Each structure stands twice: as structure tokens, then as C-alpha cells.
Amino acid sequence: AQSVSQHNHHVILSEAASLELGCNYSYGGTVNLFWYVQYPGQHLQLLLKYFSGDPLVKGIKGFEAEFIKSKFSFNLRKPSVQWSDTAEYFCAVNARNSGAGSYQLTFGKGTKLSVIP
């Protein structure tokens, strides 16, 4: 079964600082990769996704992520964070669950980002 690791539980940054959140997964086959965001009091929203093609994907609000297949990584980046980026960020991998024959979305445990004005 696949697993997803997010390296940081809580990150605190000042506004305008650069952000990189780590995400590694374990799965040997083809995967679809996602970053979801959950703003305080709101539900999970898609930030960006990678299915195929250019490994550098751009999402909403200036976020981007790079898929490095050799490292099984899909790190999230933003050059300059804003207070409004305060949220919890989840990395997720959609891969085939061979036992059940379905595609299962496996989430990391999330990284809380606090941006100080």
C-alpha cells in the first residue's frame, strides 16, 4: 500500500518569506499527485495537481510543486507567502490499490502553515 510523508507538522513564517513543504510518497507505479489546502473554517480545496507532462506544475495563488520521480517527491513551493496563506496543507497520492482494483487517494498527515504579518 502507498504511503505519504509530510516532513513538517507546523511551519511558522513571516510574510514575504519563501515556503517549501516537503512531501514524499512510497509507491512504485504510476501516480497522480495533489496538494490540497484547508483554510481555517473551510473545507479542503485543490491547490494543484500533477498527472503527467511537465513535472513543474503551477496552482492557484502563486503556488507551484515539482514532481521528482527519482526522489518520489512532490514538494510545494511559494516564493513569497502572505498572511492569507495561513492554512493546513495536505499532500495526496492517487494510485491503484491492487487489492481492491480501485484508485485510492492517500493523504499525508498535513502541515500547518502559520504566516505572521
Partner 1 sequence: GAGVSQSPSNKVTEKGKDVELRCDPISGHTALYWYRQSLGQGLEFLIYFQGNSAPDKSGLPSDRFSAERTGGSVSTLTIQRTQQEDSAVYLCASSPDRQETQYFGPGTRLLVL
How far is the C-alpha of 113 from the C-alpha of 12, rounded, in Å? 6
- 79-98 residues near partner 1, rule: CB under 8 A: 90, 92, 94, 97
Rounded least distance, CB 81 to partner 1, Å? 22
The binder of partner 1 chosen from 25, 34, 50, 63 (CB under 8 A): 34
Q: Which residue's C-alpha cell is 527519482?
A: 70
Q: Indicate whether 16 belongs to the interface with partner 1 (CB under 8 A).
A: no
Of the two residues 42 and 70, which places its CB atom closer to partner 1 in the complex?
42
Please give the grid coordinates belonging to residue 62: 502563486
Tell me how far apart the alpha carbons of residues 64 and 2 are, in angstroms, rounded to a whole number: 23
